[in-house]
Structure formats: structure tokens, C-alpha cells
Structure 1
Amino acid sequence: MQILIIATGTMGDVAPYTGLGLRLRQAGHQVAIATHKGFEDLIRSCGLEYRRFPGDPWGAASTMGVRVEQSATGLPPRLAVARLIPSLLRDCGQGVLDAARQGADVLLVSQGVAPLGRVVAEGLGLPSLGVFVVPLMPTASFPPVGVSLRSLGARGNRAAGDVMMSLAMRLYAPEVQRLRTELGLPGRGAGIRREILRRWPIWHGFSRHVVPRPPDWRPGLELSGYWWPASPRQWQPPPQLVDFLGAGPPPVYVGFGSNAPSHGERLGTVVVSALRRAGVRGVVQRGWAGMEATADGDILSIGEVSHEWLFPRTAAVVHHAGAGTTSAGLRAGVPAVPVPFLFDMHFWAARLVALGVSPSVVPFCALSEERLANAITMAVRDPEHLRKARAVSCRLADEDGAAPVIEAIDNLARSA
């Protein structure tokens, strides 16, 4: 069968689907991933078909970063981001439709375009599944991801989740209706919301050992385990990094991925000072912020590097708590210091603390040399964090996150 995966977002949102795609190909399927132009080389280097999808996550990340440093958890930044979403979605529906029209027997849709993908699947008569890397469905177990940092109680969490789902669907409504018109489907109003909430099968690519499955989720909302990103063919670590790792004790990794693109210089200064204050060596990834850590031989600045390769060689990882980087740190079995910015990052950061892998959360809005240094010191010197990180890693090693999705696709195709 021809499997088409629609994956949108930044690296941590897209990379897991390369691993899922490879496993599907090994199971005998043809696999294409439709995603943004900047990921074309990644997709092709993994031996998968690439299909172009509109959108510029790099530009969007820069725009969404406006005023985040003032209040990464406050309402004004969230409202500013919410106002951007309709413009970001404007071409996405057509992008899903164009990609599917190039050929597909089954459509797998990531959370960022789930309502649009579900409509396209209906219009083209394709079986489909949601494949999410973030738990977005309403539940009493925790508040809506990216909205509240504290539990609102079981009833409050569920009610808030229902409200947020309703508000999110309103953002998609104009593009959903345009797609339905183009595909000759009758207008259904809130029908797509009911379909996703009550019927559409959705698999979540994270582990029950990290986020237990909410008991109030309906059947069809399932956890598969992680879809580990594929390693690009013939990738080799930079010789300078290999030499640095061999020249002393394991360093602390620091990287903020696609966040804070306008704060590289300030972040670099804070990070270098915190690493020195904690008395540890450091590997600092520049990321989209362009963070430079100029120091003597105890700190090294690097570009893109395989987290799967690097993280097991570190004493701890300091990161933005995106879904992809969080999972890579857990897989490596090393302590973490999360510095969340927006959206689901606060959720994953709280999970790291709850698991005992991290001593504390250091929100980006409260980031300082002293606070970061203290958290790094606790992460590397308290053996309990390392013990718990290794325990989680061992549990993850026993899971095969792709297997249940492959089985679900085979069952879906047979029933279709």
C-alpha cells in the first residue's frame, strides 16, 4: 500500500515520522512524507519519498517568539500566537489535498493539521488515522496541554479541555469549510469536531511510562510508544565534537531547538556563565537562536547533531522540553533540566519533574545564570536523578512504538 504521512511543525514534530515511515516501509508499504521544504533532505536521506507541503516553520517560530521572553506563561503571548494561526493554516488544507492527490491508499495525519486531513480523507474516500506526538484530547487527568501549568481538578481539566478543543476547531473552520466545498462534501458545521472527538482513531507516539493513558479517553485514542527518528544515512559526528568528548568528563548539553531565534547572544552569555558556575563542561547547540558559547576549552559550540548519538555521552541535557528533544533525553537515560517556552513544552517539562528525571523546571521567562546553574548542579550531582532516568530508559527500550500502528493500518485497510 501507499502510505502518506502529513507531518507539520519543527524538527521535533517531524523527525518521529521518519522512524515510523521506515518501519512501515520494512513492513512492505510504500511511504511518502509530506512536510515543509526545509525537511526534504532529511526525508530523502532516510530513504523515504518526499512531498512538498506549504509553510515556513522557521519564520513562524520567529514570529511566535515575539514577547515570549516577557511572559512565556502569560495570556498576552498566547493571544498573539492564536491570532497567527488562521494565516498559518490558510494554505495547509490545499497542501494536504495536493499531497494526497499524488497517490495514497492510507492517510496518516499529525496533530497540526488533523481536522484538515480528516476532511481530505473523507473527500477522497481514504482510510485515515491520526498520528499525534502530543496528548491534545480532553481529559480529566491533566489540564489542556499548553494552556495551564497546574491541574484544575478532574472536572476543571475536562471542562477546560472541551473548551479549548472547541476554540481550536473554530480556528480551523474556514479552511475546513473551503475544503468541503472543493471536495463536494456537504457542510457539517461542528461535524468534524464530533468525528475527531468520538470516532476517529488516533495513535499517540509516546510511552505510557512517560504519560499514562488517561482512563477517561474513549476507545480509539491509544498510546503506541515512541516512534524514534531514523538516523540519516552515512551520518558521522563532527571530529571536533568527538575530540572534545574524549578530552574530559561527560559534558552537559545545552540547546533550545527552534526557540528564541532573536535571543542567541543573550542566551549564550547566560548559558556559559551558568555552566562555569556549576563547574561542568558544556556542549552548546546553536539552534535557531544562533546561540554562541565562546569560552576556553571547557565549552564547545556545535551545529546540528544527532541527539540519539550525543545525549548518552553527556552528564545531563538542558533543553526547551519540546516533544522530540524530551523523548531523546529519556531514551538516553540522562538527567534533564527543562527550560520551556510555549505550548506543550511546559507539559513535557512537568512530566520530567514528575518522573524524577529533572530536579526542577526553569521557565524561559525566569531564566537566569543563578537559577540555571543551580538546576544543572542538582541534576548532575544528585544520583537519584540519574537512577530514575536510567530506569525510564530501560522501560522505553522494551517498547516497539511502530508495531501497533502498523497493525492498525493493516486492519484499517482490510476493513476499508
Structure 2
Amino acid sequence: MSPKSPPPDGGRGPREAPPAYTPYLDPQLTAESANAYTDGRIDVHLDSKLAKSLAKIADEQEEGIFLPPSRSRQEDALGIDLKLNIVIQIVGSRGDVQPFIALGNALQAHGHRVRIATHDVFENFVKESHLEFFPIGGDPAQLMAYMVKNPGLIPQMKTLRDGEIKKKQVMVGQMLQGCWRSCIEDDPVTQEPFVADAIIANPPSFAHIHCAQALGIPVHLMFTMPWSSTKAFPHPLANLVNGSMENPGTANWVSYAIVEWLTWQGLGDVINRFRSSIDLAPVPRTEGPCLAEALEIPMTYCWSPALVPRPTDWPSHIDVCGFFFSDPPSYTPPPELAHFLESGPAPVYIGFGSIVVEDPQKLINTVLEAVSRAGVRAIVSKGWSELAGPPDPNVFYIGDCPHGWLFEHVAAVVHHGGAGTTACGLLNGKPTAIVPFFGDQPFWGDMVANAGAGPAPIPHAILNAQNLAEAISFCLRPEVSTAAREIAIKMKAESGVTTAVASFHRHLPLQRMRCSIIPGNPAAWAYTKKKQPLTLSKAAMNILVEYQRIDPKDIKCFAINPIIIENRRWDPLTGVLSAAMSTGSNMLYSTGEMFYNPYKEYKASQIQRRSERNLSDQQSSSSTPSARRSNSDPFDTAAKMAGAGLQGFGKFTATYFRGVIVDIPYAAAEGFRRAPQLAGEQPKEYGNVHDWKSGAVVGGKNFVGGMTTGITGMLKHPVKGFLEEGPAGAMKGLAKGAIGMATHMPSAGIGLVAYPFQGISRSIEAAFRTKTPKAIVNARLREGFTLTERMQLSKDEKDEVVQVFDVLISSMGE
């Protein structure tokens, strides 16, 4: 697929680059890399510095073909006996929530407890499907309107002037907190305890990885449009602006990285504030974009491979499963609709769903004239724009009607290109014409056209009666109807929901998830008194405590799926420079606090003084000298100003010493250790540093490994080169050995101190981050008690749990 030119402007006005309002991205780099528009799409400039740098990375990647899992592996994954608490976090419209209703019901059928966490307005929709509901806040209508104008929360200049960006960042912050609470809080109505064992989420919910990291549980992303880098097609929100890139695949791959970078610009500070609130360290600014890809988070795409085949360059943790469909609803049409359908040839459906247009009258006039020119009958959906025209025997205006039923009775469908509507039309074998308005809708229009099931999409800005009539006529061609029916046959052979459940199960770390005592229950605790910890479920731990077999002080939360987010270093020079710049920027910020915080205290005291003076004037009879002094006392104000200044100085000092003693040496050690990969060698991995013990272990292993590799390399590489290429090869090997010694040995020496100090630093930080771990412990204890009560285990069954524990402990020895 070749890069596409941007669509016509369509009255969008001046093209303005997104401003840099957060410290996460170089503003000049961002401005030259892309422009974001009010149709929810981004022009990606392929000649920008960022695009060219990313293209080098893409071109250097080895071409690989990753096959999806075999059918037998998927079927085996369906049969797991582990029963989990699963929270499904969804941000978006009703169309975004609906597929996950079908998924939730399928997971329930496997014995899982499923909680849908989404916007408050969808509470009845979720509960009517017999799923648990948890509100995360946020107004989907406002959010969707904002996302249309600011894709990925990338702000337009007009949006900044209107003050909308701050309001929406506040909304996103509230939804992030709501997603976290959905993982550990009781049901808001029944008060039944709930602690998530796994998370499923759509990418725009944004909290998923961070919640999973805090809980140490698996996370699985599912979405209706491509969000993973591929050379097969560009990011759905990207318009590739023709540049000098000769390889279209490279341009496609670059588009994903740039969209992610721009998204992080809009959300980086919001996400890191959220992480701080749940006791997680900030995500490094270089790791925030493409975090899910870097961590290889499992991803399942909910579209039909018959329409969009799975790209061969996607790794095995990315699946394409098919669209999610619920059972078709039972529906009896009103007599007027039934009569219209029976009184002539099958009509064409025309509707634009939740799209709200500025000029509905102009749109309906265009539709009616196109219907007349094409010589067809039509059913026109009023939608949110309330489309309606004069009475016409060939046109029927319809309100709310299930697409699953209606599309069985039409000849073709014309709509805005939402993923759900597109899927429903094709499932019924109907040729499809798409008039995209924003977001991923042009992508689906292109995919339908590429499959031969409809004409090329018509951007709404250039829609007129002539091209719409031509699109309708194109849909009625025999070859187009045949292509649509062939897609329908393939889609009906798929089972999107069943395959998605299998994908979810297949990617679970099942061996780590099982309780050692009750294998059908997920592990939540680790019994650490023995060298080899035992994993215990919530119920098993409660029974063992009840029988006094274990001491609660020997129990800790068990991380089923630890997520480590590291600031990866690629070489010593850039690693040290990056760490030094980060330290310098943090010191500059702390310097500002040294002066600004006392000023804030002074202003607060002035406001307090004015407030007290007004109160004194209004209630002079009740005021007392002590009340008038309170916070406006000059000595108290001076003390607070001094304290605020000292606090800023303390942060400045701590930042300096951390940078000099921990961050910069650690970056140097990691840079030297990873430097051989620049020459095509794979650096040795010695584990992750998460506390003082692991820091000492990694430092020791790196020292031994680095010194050994550096010395032996001086002998091994020349000998190997001589055997392969003679004296010239020996010289090359000698140079390679010298480079290896120059990188491995410095890493060994610096790392002997840097890794332990990094571990000590993280242990100290963990000691101060106790609020969230305590909340998780309390939530798991609360649910464990409720589970034990609900299971109503007999004394014999409890005795059996204790006996299994005793046998396991005795087999482990001391």
C-alpha cells in the first residue's frame, strides 16, 4: 500500500501544529513531524527528522514472518479450569462498549467473574446483559467530541484558547482513577468485594498497564482498529504526507510511532500523576510512547481477517480474532416499516449514527437528491443529527432499529464507517459505501474498497449528490454484491468472541497463576517462610490462618505477572547524556520550587487574611483574637514560607545526589553493557533491579560476566577471525575484541557500584510507597473472607486444604 496524500482540507482552516505544553517531547520535533486536525486525523510528515530517524530503525529490523497460533492451541486454551476475577476497562461510545458485552458474557460462561468498568451512562446497558458494572466517570459524548478535534488528546491551538484541554485532562485523570478503583473496590451497589486477577481493556482507557503493574496481574488489550506497528498499512489516524521514503512499508511503520509520540505529549503528565497516586514511579519519557509494544502486552484485534488479514510482521502475542457479535435481537418491526419493506425492491440503508453534523438540512437534501438520481428506494436513519425530509414514497425515515435485523432486509448500506456498523453490514453480505467523518472511519472505508465490497470512501467534506449517487450505483453492481457475500460467508465461519476468549486464555501465565493448594483458584498470596514460596489463593490463605497453620506476617502479596518498566539505554554516550539532562531538568524544577513555593505560601496567607477580614466585618460580634490570628499570623506565614523554601532546597539536593550517585552511573553501566548490540551482538541479561538484593546480585553477575567476556573476547575473536578469513580476519577479530573489552570491562567496573546503589534507591522508594500496597492487601483480605463464607466449605473440605498444605511443606524441608 503506497502512502496516501492528505484528503482535501474541507474547510478545516489554517493547519496548526500541536503546541508543546508538557516536557515530554521536543516541540520543534513534534511540530515538524505531524499536524493534527479537527477530523481526528494527523498528517505525518515523512521528511521530518523524527520520521527519518524512525525509518532507520524500521529499515534495520530483520524481516520476519510471525504466524498466528494454530487452531489446536486456541482450542486447548479454551479448556482452562482457573476461575478469575476479570475487569474489562472501556473508554468510548456505546459502540465501543457493545463488543465487550459479548466478550464478558462468553467469559462468564467459562466460570469467570466479569466486571465491566466504563462510563456511568452505560450502567443499565451493562446490567441488562447480566454483567457487573463499575462506574469510572467521564462523559463519553464530551470525550468523543474532544477526541474528534484532538486525536489522542493532542491539543489544537483553538482548543487551548478555549480552555478545553485542561478540562479534558481533568476528565481523563478522573477516569484513570476510576479504572484503578474498578480493580480493587467493592461493588458500589451490592458491596460485594472484588479484586481483579486479570485486566482486559481497550487502549484508550490508558490505565490498563499501570493498574496491572500495581497489582502484579496479567493485562490483555483488545481493540477494533490497528494500534500496533506494522508495515502492512498506516496508522488509522495518520495521513501520510508524501516524502522521500521509497519504501511504503517503512512509511506505514513510522506512522504508528509518530502518532504514539504525539499521544504521549498530550497524556504523559496526566499518566505519570496517576502513577504517582498509586505508588508507581514515573514512566521515563523515552519509554512512554509505544509502552505496550515494548512490554509485549498481548493484543487481540476484533475484526475479521477476511476483511483485514493479519499482518505477517506482527509477533505472536498479537492476534486477529474476528468481529464480536452478540446473538441477534428478537425484533418486531412497526407496521409502517414492514409495509415499506414489502411494497417494492429492497431499499438502500443510509445512516450516520451518532455523527452530529453542522448542517443537517444540507445533508438530507444531498441524500434525497442522490437517492433520486440513483433510482433506488431508501431507508434513512435519523441518527443524532435528526435527519428528516419531506414525505417521499421511496424514502422511509427510521429512528432506533437494530442493525442486525434491519440489514437483513436491505440491498446495500451507506454509513459513516464505524467498525461495528461496518461489521454488521458485511456480516449480512451487504455492499457498503462509507462516508467517513473522522478517526478510523477512512481506514474502514479503504479496507472495504480494497476487498471489492464497496466504492472508495467519500470524505464527508466533499460529499455531494453526484458522488453519493455514483457510490450507491456502484454498490448495486453484481460483482460488488458477490464480493460482499463472499466476505459474509467467511465471517460467519469465524467465531470472533470464542477466538478472543481463547486468545485471552492462551496468553495467561497459567503456571504462575495457580494456587498451590487449590489449583482451580488463582494465586493472590505468597507464603515466604520457606526458601521456595508457596502460592495461595485468597480462600486458601484464610483457611490456613483460621487453622493457625501460617502466621500472617509470613504472607505477602504475590505478583503473578511482574511488569518492569526500565529506561533502556542503547550506548554509554547517549545514556549518560540523557541521565544528566534528566537530572539537570529536575534540579532546575526544584530550583524554581525553592522560590515559587514560598511565594505561594505568601499569596495564600494574603487570601486568608482578606477572607478573615471580610468575615470579621460580617460577624464582628462572634470573632475572637485567636480566630483573627490563625493562618494570617505574620510569624506563622514566615515559618511556612521558610519551610516551603527548605522543601524545595531538599528536593534540589536529593535530585543532585541521586543523579550523581545513582542515575548517571547506572545509565553509564547499562550503556556500556548494551553497547555491543550496536555491532549486532546480543548483550547478556542479568535480571532486573527492583530492590537492594537484586541490585547486589545483578552487580555481581555483571562484574563477573563483563570481566570474563572482555578478557576472553581478546582471544576468541582474533582466533575465530583467523580461522574464517585468515590474517585479515584476525585483525578484524582483534578490533572486535578490543571494542568488547572497552565496553564490557567499564560496565563491569561501574556496575559493581551502580547496580547495588540503584537497588538501594528503589528499596528506599518502596519503603515510602505503602498506601497502595496496603489497599491491595486489605482488598484481598476482604474478598478472601467473603469467598470463604460463600464457598460454605465443610470441616472435611477445610481439613483437606490443611492436609495438602502440610504435605507440601514437609516435602519442601527446611
- Give CA deviations for 1:316-364 in whole Å, capped at 9, x if unaligned: 1000011111111111111011000111001000001000000221110
Q: Does 1:140 align with 2:231?
A: yes
Corresponding residue for 1:126? 217
Provide the rounded CA distance (Å) in 1 between the counterparts of 2:99 and 2:333: 20
Find the counterpart in structure 1 of residue 482 from structure 2: 387
Task: State whether residues 62 and 260 of structure 1, in contact with CA within 8 Å, keep that contact through their aligned partners in structure 2.
Answer: no
Higher relative contact order (CA 8 A, sep 6+): 1
Q: 1:18 to 1:109 in 2, by over 3 A?
A: same
More helix per residue: 1 or 2? Answer: 2
- Structure 1 match to 2:113: 30
Q: Which amino acid aligns with 1:304?
A: D
C-alpha deviation, 1:231, in angstroms: 4.9
- Residue type of the alignment partner of 1:348: W
- More displaced 10-residue stretch of structure 1: 216-225 or 306-315: 216-225
Which residue number corresponds to residue 219 of structure 1? 316
Choose which of 317, 322, 325 in structure 1 pairs with 2:413: 317
**2:184 pairs with 1:101:** yes
Residue type at the aligned position of 2:392: D
**Kept after mapping to 1: 8 A contact 2:380/2:396:** yes
Task: Please say if residues 58 and 258 of structure 1, whose CA atoms lie closer than 8 Å, have aligned partners that are also in contact.
Answer: no
Q: Which amino acid aligns with 2:204?
A: G
CA–CA distance in structure 2, aligned partners of residues 42 and 136 of structure 1: 27
2:454 maps to which residue? 358
Query: Please, which moves more after superposition, 133-142 or 399-408?
Result: 399-408
TM-score, length-normalised on structure 1?
0.89
Kindly state the Cα deviation for residue 212 of structure 1 after the two structures are TM-superposed. 1.4
Find out whether 1:185 has 2:280 as its counterpart.
yes
* CA–CA distance in structure 1, aligned partners of residues 302 and 372 of structure 2: 37
1:292 aligns with 2:383: no
Letter in 2 for 1:334: K
Larger radius of gyration between Structure 1 and Structure 2: 2
Query: Measured at CA, do residues 149 and 322 of structure 1 come closer, stay the same or move farther in structure 2, by a change above 3 Å?
Result: farther
Structure 1, unmatched stretches of 5+, are: none
- Taking the aligned partners of 1:239 and 1:149, their CA distance within structure 2 comes to 49
Question: Is the 2:353–2:383 contact (alpha carbons within 8 Å) kept by the matching residues of 1?
Answer: yes
SS at match of 2:422: helix
Paired-residue identity, %? 31
CA displacement 1:260-312 (0-9 Å, x = unmatched):
34332222221122112211111111112222243223211112221111112
Output aligned runs, 1:251-400, within 5 Å. 251-380=347-476, 382-400=477-495
DSSP 3-state at the match of 1:90: helix
Residue number among 186, 191, 196 corresponding to 2:292 in the alignment: 196
Q: Give the 3 Å change call, closer, same or farther, for CA 142–379 of structure 1 in structure 2.
A: same
Shift of the 194–58 alpha-carbon distance from structure 1 to 2, 3 Å rule, reads: closer
Please give the alpha-carbon distance, in whole angstroms, between the structure 2 residues aligned to 1:336 and 1:148. 22
| Residues 53 and 261 (structure 1), Cα distance of their counterparts in 2 relative to 1, 3 Å cut | farther
- Supply the distance in 2 between the matched residues of 1:186 and 1:101 (Cα, whole angstroms): 20
- CA contact 1:227–1:401 (8 Å) conserved in 2: yes
Letter in 2 for 1:107: I
Question: Which amino acid is the alignment partner of residue 125 of structure 2?
Answer: L
Deviations 1:131-187 (A, max 9, x none): 111101121111121211789711111122212122222322122212211111122
**Within 2, Cα distance between the matches of 1:81 and 1:354?**
36
Which residue number in structure 2 is paired with residue 163 of structure 1?
Answer: 258
Instruction: Tell me by how many angstroms 1:44 deviates.
Output: 2.3
For residues 6-41 of structure 1, the C-alpha deviation after alignment (integer angstroms, 9 at most, x for no partner) is 122123222111111221122222222222233333
Asked if residue 53 in structure 1 is aligned to residue 136 in structure 2, the reply is yes
SS in 1 for 2:364: helix
- Report the count of equivalent residues: 406
Name the stretch that deviates more: 405-414 or 198-207: 405-414
| 1:235–1:125 distance in 2 versus 1, CA, 3 Å | farther
TM-score under structure 2 length normalisation: 0.47
Query: Paired residue for 2:53?
Result: none
Pick aligned residue for 1:19 from 88, 92, 102: 102
Q: Is the 8 A contact 2:324 2:496 kept in 1?
A: yes
